[in-house]
Amino acid sequence: MEYPKLRPVQFFPVVAEGKLMGCIHDPQRFCDKPLIIPWDIVPVLASLDGKHSLQDIKVEYTKNCGNILFHEDLISFLERLDYYLLLHSKRFDEFKEKLTKEFINSPVRPAFFSGLSYPADPRLLIEKFEAYFTSPEGPGWPDKNRKINNRLTGIIAPHIDLESGGHCYAWAYSELIKSSYLPELFIILGTCHAGVENMFCLTDKTFLTPLGEVKCNKKFIGCIKNRCHADIFSEELLHRSEHTIEFQALFLKFIWERFSVNKPALEICPILCSFTPDSLSEGSPQKDIYNDFIEALKKAILYFGKSVCIIASADLSHIGAKFGDLDVFDTPITQVCFDEDIMMLEIIAQKDRKGFRDNMMRSYLKRRICGYPPITVMLDILPPSQGKILNYGHSIVDEQGSMTTFASMIFFE
């Protein structure tokens, strides 16, 4: 471990027992517990790039902090990081290899967040989901006998934890209950928080939920795979612990059980996406990968020849200390964020792809719209549709007032 290297992780400040501390979270959840570290050791993280030796790290620390970092303290810290599987190391490689083999060889994708983010008991889960609809913030329980004729072509729903945004999910999925036409396939576009080298990552495994299985349409997914030049299955392990598709599949399964007759089989195509507005700029090598995938997806939809609904699993702005903002966010500043979000949603509702891209080029970094990738893909593959904003909200995510915003929308013929 002469040149230690930190894996891609998320870092944010937290207050623990009245003290400012650092929190390291692994978005791939190889270790499901976040690591809390003393604030005075945080500067070491910047040097864990695989290029700094142990001696370099100590020198850099002294230069930046004015204090001596003893060798035994550095080794102890690195051993702790390795224990939490946060370093590129032999221990991590062996763990990942074993986990990858188990996942790839399994025909199913287990419900990773069952018992963590939602109840594993089906009865308790149904009660909680019904409460999302009937709560004061929810849309109310729709009368499934009073149908509307609109055919849903697209849904934007949050992917924030269900306790914070369950009512907002309900606004989107209540429209599915009311629709006269049930889609025969749902393409679920989810943000991949761990990043995807080839921009897109698919799996055709059956998604397990406490309410039963949600199957993938293997023929449709194979159609996409055969038309893509990039290997869209090379990072399939990312699906194991990413919640952005799991939460939508769970809501779909809950909704599907509300229909008793004349319903097609529930099938999905799960796609994890990861890219920034700069990735699609002229001259970017990633733009060719993006265009190749979009064309493959469009052709698969065309050859499928049945009704398709596209779900973008997308949160919006992330502002505050947790996400790197040093300013104190007061009411006027947060109101500006809310206003900018609504303006962006109106652009999306109009299916204005250029307007959305221009908006993101100006404000993506400032507001950290993590739903940018799935929304971008949705706008590129939606058929002629009308958009409608249903609900908008936010959740405070730490004691410093950091917040995440989210919304639900539908698109219909």
What are the tens digits of pLDDT across the range 207-235? 999 999 999 999 999 999 999 999 999 99
- Give the pLDDT of residue 110: 97
Tens digit of pLDDT for each residue in 46-67?
Answer: 999 999 999 999 999 999 888 8
Please tell me the predicted confidence (pLDDT) of residue 262. 74
Place of tokens 């698969």: 300
Count of other CB atoms within 10 angstroms of residue 38: 12
Residue 134 C-beta-side C-alpha neighbours within 13 Å: 8
pLDDT at 330: 63
End-to-end CA distance of the chain: 58
Give the whole-angstrom CA distance, residue 225 versus residue 231: 8
Least confident of 19-33, 198-212, 249-263, 380-394: 249-263
| Residue range 301-351, pLDDT digits in tens | 999 999 999 999 999 999 888 887 766 556 667 888 999 999 999 999 999
For residue 351, give every residue at least 6 positions away whose Cβ sits within 8 Å of its Cβ, in sequence order, or none: 379, 382, 385, 387, 411
d(CA 240, CA 247): 13
**What's the topology of domain 109-412?**
Protocatechuate 4,5-dioxygenase; Chain B (3.40.830)
Distance, CA of 266 to CA of 260 (rounded, Å): 13
Using DSSP's 3-state secondary structure scheme, residue 364 falls into helix
pLDDT attached to residue 375: 98
Domain spans of the chain, in order of start: 10-100, 109-412
pLDDT recorded at residue 181: 85
- pLDDT of 80 strictly over 60: yes
Average pLDDT (114-138) is: 96
Question: What pLDDT does 333 receive?
Answer: 74
**Of 241, 243, 242, 221, the residue nearest 232 (C-alpha):** 221
Tell me the average pLDDT across 120-135: 96
